[in-house]
Amino acid sequence: MAAELVVPLAPGVWRIRLLRDLVNGFIFRDDDGQVTLVDMGLRSHGPKVMAALTSIGSGPGDVTRLLLTHAHPDHAGGTAHVSRETGLPVDIHEADAEFVRAGQAPPRDESLRIGALANRIGRGRRDFEPIEVGETFVDGQVVPVAGGLEVVHTPGHSPGHAAYLHRDSGVLITGDSIFNVRGLRWPIKAFCTNFVMTTQTAERLTTLDYTTAAFTHGAELRDNPRVAIGDFLARARR
């Protein structure tokens, strides 16, 4: 039996399995039917995001906001398609907004040889289709989505990388601060703008109050996720 396209996380909150459990997007639906989509995956995943919307009984006309956790092509790649289908721009933290407008991923970590090489090779290259940006966010801002979605700025993976905390449901979208692929682990160093900063700002995830950690790469954790993330960070510090 084929796995479901969407996984319920809480009432009105779903994870979209864009590439099995390896690449995820998310859906929030308000009580009045308004829908917010978070992260649209790779370029080929735009139609899959729209199919996920249909699978929960909503349509393009119900979508009132598009959000990104950060401006990497495995999160922003499908956004142009979804933007055309819904007629909406995309919202993102202010430090990643220009990258989205240009269709370019942020620079990689220059302290790593492979990061510096990737920056030289990719200079001026378009990584995904440029997207119109609507609202830009700052840390601590509460976006009016399904009762309120708090922006938690966790830079390092990209300058404007953000997690999103939905206090009403207890769901935290971690973004790429931490992966949950064969266990908790760091994102790939070479894809970070500043890997050391990534390891530092991930500590913020232990200061928040949530009952479900929803990862953009990997399945969610529902059993004491804050403790599990704290234990992972403690081991990493050692």
Domain layout of the chain by residue ranges: 6-237
In Å, what is the CA distance from 12 to each residue of 112, 138, 184? Answer: 41, 25, 26
In the numeric block, which tokens belong to residue 112?
Answer: 């790593």
Residue-level pLDDT, tens digit, the chain, 238 residues: 357 999 999 999 999 999 999 999 999 999 999 999 999 999 999 999 999 999 999 999 999 999 999 999 999 999 999 999 999 999 999 999 999 999 999 999 888 888 787 778 877 788 999 999 999 999 999 999 999 999 999 999 999 999 999 999 999 999 999 999 999 999 999 999 999 999 999 999 999 999 999 999 999 999 999 999 999 999 998 8
Instruction: Using the structure block, give the residue that is written with the tokens 């308000």.
Output: 30
Distance CA 44, CA 123 (A): 23
pTM beyond cutoff 0.85? yes
Q: How crowded is residue 71: how many other Cβ atoms within 10 Å of its Cβ? A: 31
pLDDT reported for residue 163: 98
pLDDT at 231 (0 to 100): 97
| pLDDT for the residue numbered 114 | 81
How far apart (Å, rounded) are the C-alpha atoms in residues 171 and 176?
A: 15
Q: Report residue 205 as tokens.
A: 């995830």
Number of H helices, E strands in the chain: 7, 14
Q: State residue 152's pLDDT score.
A: 98
Write the CATH number of the domain with boundaries 6-237. Answer: 3.60.15.10
Distances (CA, A) of 17 to 61, 114, 198: 22, 30, 25
The pLDDT assigned to 121 comes to 81
Residue 2 has what pLDDT?
56
What's the confidence (pLDDT) of residue 1?
34
Q: How far apart are CA 87 and CA 162, in angstroms?
A: 24
The pLDDT of residue 212 is 98
Question: pLDDT at position 105, please?
Answer: 96
Cβ-based neighbour number of residue 176 at 10 Å: 27
